[in-house]
Structure 1
Amino acid sequence: MSSTTTTNSLALHEIVLSIADSLNEAQETLRSVSPYDEYGRPNTLYQLPYLDFNLEVISQFETSQTGSSTGGNGIRFIPFRSTETTTKNQGVITSNISGRFVAVMPNEGLPQIALSAITKFNETNSEYAIYSIAVKAVQPNNEFVIGQRIEINFDEATSMDLNSKMSVSAPVFIGAKDGYTRADDGNVYVQVKLKIAEYNAGRTFVFKANSGTQFISIAISKP
């Protein structure tokens, strides 16, 4: 007779992510404070420059078994509680994990930029539809940035979502799919070849361009 056991445990990355989410919510609350009170006096504004954390977790090795068929060996991580027993059980290890979340400047401390993109149809042949993609990095004053590295990749997951989960063949890049913005117009240019059958069928091909922490999505489909 099979039995079902419910285990309340978390993966280590889930524990750390929950701390990061709580820290982000706290910082957002601090940012929402008005610079001035109802009488026009400046409010004291705060921010969280860093957060040190120390976790004590139990690593417990288990063998799962359902009915007459043996499952397998596994390991689960459980947050340590002050009421936990200090008895050293076989297969149970108590560990300390410490770290620090540190606030960093946007765009790795460089001037903030935005990305923009345009596409241009070139030609078709018996196999492919060929397009050019131009991506530009722009400063807040709308001046383009020279020498900014930009990379362009095919976004297969988003392409499938936009095509009702139908498969979309990966485009072929003509030459490099990354480069540095040019001095004459601030663009990085790449060319891509799209499967002609899927292109004629109205499929949408989505690309993602990024430079540092900045991203932009680019969609190409038959007009």
Structure 2
Amino acid sequence: MADETRLMGNSIEELLVAIAEGVREAQAALDQGPSVDGNGLPLATYHLPYLDFTIKVEMTTKTDSGGRPIAMLMAAPKGSTSSAAQSSVSGRLIAVPPGEGLPLPRLSVATGGNIGGFASIAVTVTNSAGETLANQPIELNIDTEASTTLSLARGAPAFARGSGTRLDAAVLTTGADGVATTRLRIDSKQNARQVVVITATLGTASARGVILMEEVG
């Protein structure tokens, strides 16, 4: 009986591991979704809170003449005897939130207007606990696809970056206040009705800011 119990226990353990792996993979797939839409607005994110389950198992084992247990799917030696065991297991599997349950980083991008061919960019990094994060590396990029989408919506031609339109710095580090700043240089020949979308990234967290090309001062 002890051998049968051990066999059933091992089988249930393998089944629980398979279910847990399925929950983990499902949450990982949800975590891969974009955090912002094409206009830089935040999108809803989803988290699997838990999975309740009940497993009912009936295992039939066979023992050979020496009393050794043999799995049901195996052909039993001649002269073996049969026995059955039943078990029911209920429980709850909880998916670990993104970031292993720790506060997640959050970014926000503030931009200024085109003043004398320069537009200011300020990236603020906090976390979901409301704390500011210092010494964080921020990567900035010009999102050509999003810039084109917004430029066309304003009646401007598809966005094409002029040779003089570039970031002063593409990699920033936040200060003690959780803020990092730089500027966007704007080519004087850039279409004034166009829009530039700046994407800031820290790990899997990202945010976008929008800069209008028309000069305001």
Moved runs in structure 1, 4+ residues, more than 4 A? 25-30, 32-35, 107-110
Q: What is the deviation of 1:162?
A: 1.9
2:166 is equivalent to residue 179 of structure 1 = no
Q: Which whole-Å CA distance do the structure 2 matches of 1:121 and 1:153 have between them?
A: 18
Counting matched residue pairs gives 134
What stretches of structure 1 of length at least 5 have no aligned partner?
1-19, 36-42, 49-103
In the alignment, which residue of structure 2 is the partner of 1:163? 151
Superposition deviation, residue 160 in structure 1: 1.3
Bigger strand share: 1
Identical positions, percent: 25
In the alignment, residue 161 of structure 2 is paired with which amino acid? S
Length-normalised TM-score, structure 1: 0.49
Partner of 1:24: 26
Separation (CA, whole Å) in 2 of partners of 1:203 and 1:213: 28
Q: What is the DSSP-based 3-state SS (H/G/I as helix, E as strand, rest coil) of the residue aligned with 1:198? A: coil
Q: How does 1:85-164 map to 2 (within 5 A)?
A: 106-107=98-99, 111-121=103-113, 123-124=115-116, 129-164=117-152
Counterpart of 1:61 in structure 2 is none
CA apart distance, 1:120: 2.2
CA distance in 1, matches of 2:139, 2:29: 31
Q: Secondary structure at the match of 2:149?
A: helix
1:5-52 deviation per Cα after TM superposition (whole angstroms, max 9, x unaligned): xxxxxxxxxxxxxxx9xx4389879926688xxxxxxx943257xxxx
Distance 1:192 1:137 in 2: 19
RMSD (CA atoms):
3.7
TM-score when scaled to structure 2?
0.50
In structure 1, distance between residues paired with 2:102 and 2:49? 25
Unmatched tracts of structure 2, length 5 or more: 1-21, 31-45, 53-89
Cα pair 1:206 1:218 within 8 Å, conserved: yes
- Secondary structure of the residue that 1:163 maps to in structure 2? helix
Confirm whether residue 210 of structure 1 aligns to residue 172 of structure 2. Answer: no
Contact map agreement 2:103 2:129 (CA 8 A) in 1:
no
